[in-house]
Structure 1
Amino acid sequence: MAEPSSGPTAQRTWWRGIRPRLIGVLLIPMVAALALGALRVEAAVAESQAASRAESLANILPDSFRLAIRLTVERDSANTGISGSAREGIRVATDRAIESWRDSAAAVDDSQDQTLHDDLDWVGGLLSHLDAVRTDIGEPRTRDGAAGTYTEMINTLLGLGARLPALEDPSIYRQADALAEVRTASEVLGSLRVVVAEALTTGQLDAQGLIQLAGDQGVWDRASQEFIAGSSPVAAEQFAALTDRGRGTQTTPLHVMDQMLLAGGVAGVDVTVEEWLKLYSDFVGEMEAVIVQAADDLAADVSDLRQSAQLTALLTAGVVLLVLLVAFALTVLASRSILTPLVALRQAALKIAHETLPERVRRIESGDGAVDTSVEPIPVGRHDEIGEVAEAFDEIHAEAVRLAGEQAQMRANVNRMFVNLSRRSQNLVERQLRLIDELEASEQDPDQLANLFQLDNLATRMRRNDESLLVLAGGDTGQSARGNVRVLDVLRAASSEIEQFARVEVDSSELAELRGAVAGDLVHLLAELIENAANFSPPDSPVAVRTLPRTVDAPLVIEIQDLGIGMTPDELVAANTKLQTTGGLDADVARMMGLVVTARLADRHRMSVSLRTGVPNGVVARVEVPLTALAVHGTKPIPVVSSPTTDAAAAAQAAAPALAAADAAPAEIAPPQPGSMFEEFEETPIFAALQSEWFNRRMPLVTSGREASSQDDPTTAVSEPSPSWSSPGDDGWKRAAEVAQRPREPELVTAGGLPKRVPGQNLVPGAAPAARQPSPQPRTTTVDERRSGALSSFQRGVSRARGDAATDSFRFERWEDE
């Protein structure tokens, strides 16, 4: 099963998750609502602030109108011949109005209206110099200029109502416009007072005065109507009553103006100048009260509007905040209703993908018996689309578990089938080997013995292939020994299981013994490695099998080295990775079965197998056997055994000095210890021949030049030391080997089709004992000859390897079965 990929999940940035995106989707409308609410609150606050400024200005309007009327009276009184005490009383009233106006003006908020600020400063400055203006108006020479100053101050004070900020209540503007008409009415009253006073003083009204009087009446009537229409109901009612010309017998300035216009002069007007001034002063006082009432009503309305605006701003802010809180709460609930099942689904899916399902598959693959394919559903409601996805994922999970169970069951069935077939094949091979042993025991013909030898070797390889199938199927090879086995015996047994056993050189001084349960599998493992080294190295090169020196508490290390071309770094990495992997089977098993079997056998006993590049070339396979696999930890080294010839020579030299120059019989191989895995095999002629061939050849791992090239170049060949003993059957065995290399002749058969035996045909010549002959002494070689031979052999070996690689006559692709 492929490992799950976590790259996208580990590399994903936080803002790519569903949670930030969902929060963004829900947050965008909330931000928009917040912005709109903020704008609405800002508008309400701005309206409240404007209402506050309007209120501060409206509060000054009553005092402004009082002051304007007082200034009007003071200006007009300067042109009449009133007494000094009366004029002083008018000025005192004006001063009181000025003080009241200054107090009100100090509370006016003119920060947002520069024109209002300039008007208030200008009026305040003129009022500060009012004494000089009063002096000027009393002088005939400066009276007109001073009167103009009074008029400008009066108009500015009466025009403050037009400076109210923009408000949403239209009634405020109607009242402000109505108060603006007071300025027009005051101008008309001032002109009327002067015209009527002059007419009463002179006793006649000229045409110019009559025209002015008629014009003033028209302006008064229009201003009065607009004031009544725009002012507050109370002020409108009071002003209407004040200006009603039909108020009974009460005489008002308006009645006097009407009588003069009707009479075309002062005829019929029974009012003196003093009475006229008294009527005018009383009328102005009553009109002042009405105007102040209108200004007070305007200020009250503006104050109410300000309170309403402030309340509206507070309510707007509260409502917006409440709406946002409710929207946020609903958004949180909605997002939680979506995110909670999504998070649960994600966590469950990741846990299933990375933990539950792989662990379940591993348990299914490693377990025996019935397979439980039930799965636990994801704890997510099934009432929405997320639930449907969870249900679909549960179905996928169940299907994956079911498929894993079916695959495990199928794999178990295939393994059992392989085990059964391998067991049957093993039984047949064992029977074949026993039959070959029986034939070897009774066969005397060298040709037939050679054929039986080949059959024996092929049967041994077939048995190892059957054991490999058992290993791949997870079964036991059944090759465990009942007792402990020496390491040297294991190395010899492994080298004897390959076809080219004669090329193997065993070099070990290890005294340790392996447990019987480990020895059989180690023989198989080493045989796979040795066979690979022999198959992928030149046929005339040796394969060295050696154990490294170690301490008593160090693991056993076995190395197998060949002299082939070797492997590339990438191939070494791939092979070592394969040696560390013991998982499921793949397409490489058929091509690299030996490598897979080696990895599984090593993993079974906690061994370590690795490959590296050899020196000067080739590949070195390193097998590290743990201490737990050793039954006896040897500490004293034994003589190095590379071939039986060397063992025999060493044993003969250690036996007695007298045997050094005499003919010495070969040293007998020590029998296996009791309980050894090899004690159940009966010595047969074929195994004797195998051992004879193996013991009689020796090729060093790193040969000298002349030794390595002796077979290729007879002129540089160095004679090997011949053994100092011989037997009468040597010639016969040599002839048997020569016959085995020749094509077989057709067998003679009887008329019934049975083989026809020739008496004495299979007897080995020279089997009878003969007198021993002293063996010739080997010719010694010099160091220069060996060095020259090594260089020549190296050059020819490289040339031959390159030629073989170019013609593809010799493949160096490792771990592939032929």
Structure 2
Amino acid sequence: MASGRSIRFKISTLLVLPLVSLVGLWGFAASTTSGEALNLLKVDTIWNGVINHADFLVYTLEQERLASAEVISGNVTDPAALSTTRAKVDEVKKRLSDNGLTEKTQAALTPEMQGRLKEVFATVERLPEIRKQVDNRRLSPGGLVTEYSSISDSIHRMYPSLTLATDVRLAQQAQGLIAASEVRELLDRERALIVAANGKPSMADMHMLARIDGTRTYLFPKAMANLDTELRVPFEKLSNSVRWAAMERTLDGYVSGRPVDPAVWRGMADPVLKDYTQVIWDNGDRFLARMEPAGISIIVQAGVAGVLGLIAVAFSIFISVRVGRRISRELAALRRTALDLAEIRLPGVVTKLRQGQSVDIQAEVPPIKMCDGATSEIDDLANAFDSVQYTAVDAAVEQAKLRQGVSEALRNLARRSQSLLQRQLKLLDEMQRETEDPEALSRLFKIDHLTTRMRRHAEGLVLLSGGSAGRRWRGVIPVEDVLSGAAAQVEEYTRVRVYPMPECGVSGAAVADLMHLFAELIENAAAFSSPGNEVSVRGELVGRGFAVEVEDRGLGMPAEARQAVNEQLASPPEFEASHTERLGFAVVGMLAARHGITVTLKPSPYGGTTAIVLVPTGLIQALPTPVRTPELESVSVSVVRTPEDTTAPGQLPRRQRTTKPGPERSQESQLPRRVRQANLSQRLKEAPPEQAEVRSSAGRSPEEARALLSSLQSGWQRGRQDSDQDGGSQS
């Protein structure tokens, strides 16, 4: 038995299988007996539709064969006999075809019977060819008998298949009548052969006559042996008559070589064949009268036995089902309780625990209630399952508490790291303001950038542990500034290129999350592409919000991996601490789900990967003023060159240099003086509220420090560039 079957099914099978076997045996016996008995009731249809017409067709063919024998012999007694008999044969053949092919008759015939009937029709179709040979006198006496006999033989081969009697005696009587009919056919062949020879038989004709007579003499006693007294007496009376004895003596003499006058032979054979045919027809009617009552009797007997057997089987099934139903019901109740725990209660408990709700274990796992008088083993099993389900729910509660504790510990550590990194950024800002050495300032800038990335990773840990970003902005921040700020938090910021985009902003409450989301995508694009290729960031307004494309030109992702990431981004699962692969995508999926953002990865035309971020319309707002705020100028971001830009690759565009405010320079190449927040976006100049308490009146925020270093490095580039153009040397 398959292991996947239910307990109820197995118990029911154990009880019902013997009964089903008994029912099957009873049904087979009843259907076989009833089917054969019902076949007996079809005898009348088969008899009237096929047998009567087939037997009469044999009789008329015998008459046509006798008339054809006269034509071949040249001794025609009645010129109209041949055409008359042929018309009768055609009429009988049509009746056989019309009645045998009706829907009623075909329904009563078995496939074997239908095949035999088709064989008869196929043989009858040769009759026109035989008649043509007779008319042209191309047939010998033996050939004439052979051609017509082929039709009679096919009909006699059909008769056994039409025997539907299930009773041994009835079947024996049917076989006897068929054999008696064949005897008549053999006797008629002898008559036709002698008439066709016209007293001048050939040696072949004599041999055929001897074979036919021997077969008839052998078959007649066997046919009589199969018939009962009522059917046998008419044949015995005929065979003991004077006419029969005279006919037999004449045949014996003819076979021995004594000549016989055809007219004398006809005078003896015709009356015997006529009487013999009448006996066959009368016995056929008697046999048919016996078949229908026998069928009804068998049906009655089979019905009584079937009803009694059915009652016994039904009673056995009733008792077996009643005994097994109680056990099945008890086990089904236990099964329902187990499924309820596994599919409803335990997942509900886990959901409540994840939502921070309290759980009453006693209320969540009520004991299983069994009916009175339950089977002792099943009752013990129910008690054991009560203990198991209580332990399972209690373990789920403890596991949830443990996970919550781990998350709180991770958030606490991440918050502490954020605080330390914030203090470190403040110290770096002070050191940058106090340092004039370019080399030292460059190193401080690198440390500042590393610290900013460390702060982002700490913020990612807070997000993964269920917290939220600590930074906040007020008002509306331009989208381009958000993307520039995200690019500034990437290690290989120099490869990131933010292209100009429409004037629109993002609500300050979502700026920190969006900046973190884009930073993760940009860093992933930079990490998996060649160091010589840029990471392009483009954005535009679309019908359902603001679409941003982050495109790299790396090796790309396999289709299976990209599909898996897209599924994770579309419906991010709950973060598991054991899953350390692709933490960036986990953070992106969590932030996207929080703000209703859609993130999709697709292949890039350059062979890499393009991340498409659709920010919903609810987060996109118009800028307070029509004039766009100055961009956040950072070494991590470059802008698209206009046609008039003639700077070399890797340098800032000319329009940045010409619009960049700076002090007067001497003829030699000099470093420009830093101007605080000269290129920082006006919105980003405002420090987040969370950082207000850590800033002094003279201090700078990390964003201001990065803007200052950006301005400083831009000044370095301009100074070196102007020095090269003026012919000076670079210091």
Give me the TM-score of the superposition, normalised by structure 1: 0.45
Higher helix share: 2
Task: Give the TM-score taking structure 2 as reference length.
Answer: 0.50
